[in-house]
């Protein structure tokens, strides 16, 4: 049993969790692609191999770490997939559904491992799903007679299926060795691998398979050589893994009634050695290593090797060919793979080049981000200190400019480390659309655009829930049923587009459907019934009507379903997006479809802001929200019947918001001509805010306001000024909403 208190083992488990998450992220798109090819009648067989390798990789690592639930589930999944990839049965939609369920359950199990270092607690659910997989095994009347019809054979002693599985378990042990630094631990694991290999050797002897038996015996000899060396060389462990895998393939070929291919083993050895020796060939000691390995594999004899090395005037492969120790096909295959590996090695970045990656704990990135924020605050305190304000210190200002440049470069670098592509979120949304469309019996095709657009990890995590609501509503409310689409002259398959792009310091995410669009009259009717608007209320544009959808309790659904209709969701969507300092808008055309557009800042940590003063208070206004600033001169100021001040700017009548009145502060100026007007925007709406003075542009590190202060209207946080004072950060979305 793995000792989870050992720091070394904890590191292995962390690596397993990270790699398993990466595999599962890549697995779901493959399942979706396979499902698409099944429905179109053009199955891509290569997808079976990709999906099989995904489950198999997780199974191997989980087996080494003794995570039984994960091992059991992945074993059943890969056993079922094995029938399809070998062409022994045809896959159906019910099998795809089971693979999706297995993927979802693996996500939960990996989550358990991540949080509790164990996959226990879901044994009943795993057993039920594994049972469903066994029950779903297709009839195999055309398959080998020794294979069961109700499920995969267990690792029965002596059976070839059991031998293959035991070889897989040996490779799982070797996988773990490559990640263990402690020499004693590695030797113990190698000893366990040798014990299992002895069992394999005896089972091959019982089955009367002399050729694989000889290879297994040579493998044991090779393992003894490795363990008796001064240190356990990882490259040799890698070669050993290749050969163990090759032996398994030989047995699979034997099961299928095909001749065993020792050329594969030779190719595997040559491929691995080519990586070890780089692109300089196999001189001297490396050739000796190749020869000894070939002898241990039983491809050549020891006498062949001694004779070849005695006349070492040509490459070893040519000598062995002349001696007829190898045939031309074996040598050609090995050299071909070796040359391919050389090209790959040349194409790979060298040590120190760009392109290499390492895994970093997200907590370390969070700490680094916080330190960069403190650095920005410290820089502002130094460069804008009151003791140097208004003074002409040339050397100081040059140094301040250098400090500013360096701090900005560090900030940009740290922010880039936190940026992740929206691809992963789009893939999850595609899965949501797939599940909802199946429940509603609708056909939906999803198109992803701009999935490589990057956004702050914290932002994208907080966006997931709102986006799920939007795509569910797009499928439920937006897209028609198959019958309705056909009656309207549309294709029976609906279309949903997930699109992401960057504009300045904002990310735009659009969710578009080609459904029936939003019925404005029905929206107005429902809003009137719920008392959200007065009867006969007039709206200037469609966008204002669509905005009613975001009111709490609003829903146009005719009946409540498990998908939607309870009148909750869209108001939460807007609240969550506003919490991210973002906005959401809707456009729609009857019979053509709808588009939900989200505008989200790239990051929430540090913003460019404009410092303004209202009386004795200092406020930070996000620079991206500012259109322009000006002093009242020839502008027309009017007051409407409600006493609200407005200003006419380029044929647009904008409301004037006195921040002193909005926040309840005492202003220095009461006459508009004595202060400054700043036009701020939120979506398609704009306001003129009145302030006493513009102090200047600054980088603002946003700090959250404690819950102790309650809900501060129009404030999204605060920042620390160069003199240590506090400046509130304006929430333009709330300013527009409450004025």
Domain residue spans in the chain? 1-152, 363-418, 420-601, 606-737
**Which residues are CB-neighbours of 372 under 8 A, at least 6 positions away?**
407, 410, 411, 414, 606
The residues, ordered by sequence, that sit 6+ positions from 471 with a Cβ below 8 Å of its Cβ are: 429, 432, 433, 436, 496, 498, 511
Band the pLDDT of 347: cuts 50, 70, 90.
very low
Mean pLDDT of 217-241: 65
State the pLDDT at residue 344.
43
pLDDT of residue 5: 53
Mean pLDDT, rounded, for 320-332: 65
**Could you tell me the fold of the domain covering 606-737?**
OB fold (Dihydrolipoamide Acetyltransferase, E2P) (2.40.50)
Average pLDDT of span 292-319: 60
The string of pLDDT tens digits covering residues 14-49 is 878 888 888 888 888 889 888 888 877 777 777 888
What is the pLDDT at residue 149?
A: 35
Domains 363-418 and 606-737 share a fold: no
The CATH label, of 3.40.50.300, 3.30.565.10, 3.40.50.1380, 3.40.630.10, for the domain at 420-601 is 3.30.565.10
Q: What is the mean pLDDT of residues 191-207?
A: 80
Q: What is the pLDDT of residues 547-565, one digit of tens each?
A: 888 887 776 655 545 555 4
- Reply yes or no on whether the pLDDT at 679 is more than 90: yes
The answer, yes or no, to whether residue 595 has pLDDT greater than 90, is: yes
Average pLDDT of the segment spanning 124-145: 68
**pLDDT band at 491; cut points 50, 70, 90:** very high
Task: Please report how many Cα atoms fall inside a 13 Å half-sphere around the Cα of residue 480, on the Cβ side.
Answer: 20
Higher pLDDT, residue 183 or 602? 602
Please write the tens of the pLDDT for every residue from 76-119. 888 888 888 777 788 888 888 899 999 999 999 999 998 888 88
| For residues 137-148, average pLDDT | 44
Q: How far is 272 from 292, CA to CA, in rounded Å?
A: 14
What is the rounded distance in angstroms from the CA atom of residue 572 to the CA atom of residue 549? 11
| 147-151, 247-251, 262-266, 697-701: segment of lowest average pLDDT | 147-151
Closest to 212 measured CA to CA, from 225, 222, 203? 203
Average pLDDT value over all residues in the chain:
76
**What share of the chain in percent tops pLDDT 90?**
13
* Record: fold of 363-418: Helix Hairpins (1.10.287)
Is 1-152 CATH 3.30.365.10?
A: no
498 Cβ neighbours under 8 A, 6+ residues apart: 426, 429, 430, 446, 447, 448, 449, 451, 471, 509, 510, 511
* Residue-wise pLDDT tens digits, 452-486: 888 888 888 888 889 999 999 899 989 999 999 99
Between 716 and 508, residue with greater pLDDT: 508
How would residue 409 be classed by pLDDT, with cut points 50, 70 and 90? confident
Average pLDDT over residues 372-377: 81
Collapsing DSSP to helix, strand or coil, 648 comes out as strand
């Amino acid at each position: 049993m793995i000792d989870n208190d050992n720091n070394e083992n904890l590191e292995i488990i962390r690596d397993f969790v990270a790699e398993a998450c990466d595999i599962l992220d890549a697995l779901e798109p493959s399942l979706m692609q396979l499902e698409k090819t099944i429905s179109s009648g053009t199955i891509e067989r290569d997808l079976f191999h990709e999906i099989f390798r995904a489950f198999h990789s997780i199974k191997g690592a989980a087996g080494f770490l003794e995570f039984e639930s994960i091992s059991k589930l992945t074993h059943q999944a890969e056993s079922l997939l094995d029938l399809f990839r070998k062409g022994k049965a045809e896959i159906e939609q019910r099998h795809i559904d089971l693979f999706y369920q297995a993927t979802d359950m693996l996500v939960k199990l990996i989550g358990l491992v991540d949080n509790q270092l164990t996959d226990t607690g879901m044994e009943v659910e795993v057993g039920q799903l594994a049972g469903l997989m066994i029950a779903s095994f297709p009839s195999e009347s055309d398959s080998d007679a020794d294979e069961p019809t109700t499920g995969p054979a267990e690792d029965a002693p002596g059976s070839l299926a059991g031998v293959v599985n035991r070889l897989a378990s040996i490779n799982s042990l070797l996988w773990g060795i490559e990640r263990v630094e402690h020499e004693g631990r590695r030797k113990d694991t190698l000893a366990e691998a040798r014990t299992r290999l002895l069992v394999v050797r005896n089972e091959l002897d019982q089955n009367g398979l002399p050729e694989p038996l000889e290879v297994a015996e040579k493998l044991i000899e090779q393992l003894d050589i490795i363990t008796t060396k001064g240190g356990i060389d990882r490259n040799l462990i890698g070669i050993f893994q290749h050969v163990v895998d090759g032996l398994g393939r030989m047995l699979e070929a034997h099961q299928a009634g095909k001749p065993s291919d020792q050329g594969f083993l030779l190719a595997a050895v040559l491929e691995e050695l080519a990586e070890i020796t780089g692109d300089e060939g196999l001189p001297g000691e490396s050739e000796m290593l190749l020869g000894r390995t070939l002898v241990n594999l039983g491809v050549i004899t020891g006498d062949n090797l001694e004779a070849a090395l005695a006349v070492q005037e040509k490459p070893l492969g040519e000598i062995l060919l002349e001696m007829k120790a190898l045939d031309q096909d074996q040598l050609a295959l090995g050299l071909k793979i070796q040359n391919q590996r050389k090209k790959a090695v040349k194409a790979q970045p060298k040590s120190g080049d760009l392109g290499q990656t390492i895994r970093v704990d997200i907590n370390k990135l969070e700490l680094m981000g916080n330190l960069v924020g403190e650095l920005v605050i410290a820089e502002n305190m130094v460069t804008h200190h009151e003791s140097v304000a208004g003074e002409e210190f040339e050397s100081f200002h040059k140094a301040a400019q250098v400090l500013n440049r360096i701090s900005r470069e560090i900030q940009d670098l740290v922010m880039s480390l936190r940026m992740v592509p929206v691809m992963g979120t789009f893939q999850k949304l595609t899965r949501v659309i797939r599940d909802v469309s199946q429940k509603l019996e609708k056909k939906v095709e999803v198109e992803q655009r701009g999935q490589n657009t990057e956004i702050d990890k914290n932002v994208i995590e907080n966006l997931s829930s709102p986006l799920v609501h939007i795509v569910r509503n797009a499928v439920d409310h937006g897209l028609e049923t198959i019958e309705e689409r056909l009656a309207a002259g549309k294709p029976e398959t609906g279309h949903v587009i997930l699109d992401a792009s960057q504009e300045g310091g904002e990310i735009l995410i659009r969710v578009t459907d080609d459904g029936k669009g939003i019925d404005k009259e029905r929206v107005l009717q429902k809003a009137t019934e719920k008392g959200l608007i007065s009867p006969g209320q007039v709206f200037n544009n469609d966008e204002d009507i669509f905005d009613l959808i975001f009111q709490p309790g609003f829903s146009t659904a005719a009946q409540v379903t498990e998908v939607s209709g309870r009148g909750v969701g869209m108001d939460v969507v807007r609240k969550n997006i506003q919490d991210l300092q973002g906005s959401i808008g809707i456009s729609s055309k009857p019979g053509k479809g709808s588009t939900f557009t989200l505008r989200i800042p790239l990051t929430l940590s540090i913003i460019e802001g404009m410092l303004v003063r209202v009386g004795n208070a200092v406020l930070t206004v996000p620079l991206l929200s500012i259109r322009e600033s000006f002093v009242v001169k020839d502008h027309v100021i009017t007051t409407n019947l409600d006493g609200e001040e407005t200003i006419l700017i380029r044929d647009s009548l904008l409301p004037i918001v006195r921040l002193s009145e909005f926040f309840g502060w005492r202003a220095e100026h009461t006459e508009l001509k004595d202060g400054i007007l700043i036009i701020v925007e939120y979506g398609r709406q704009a306001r003129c805010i009145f302030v006493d003075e513009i102090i200047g542009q600054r980088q603002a590190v946003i700090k959250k306001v404690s819950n102790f202060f309650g809900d501060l209207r129009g404030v999204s946080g605060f920042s620390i000024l160069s003199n240590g004072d506090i400046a509130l950060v304006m929430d333009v979305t709330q300013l527009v909403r409450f004025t």
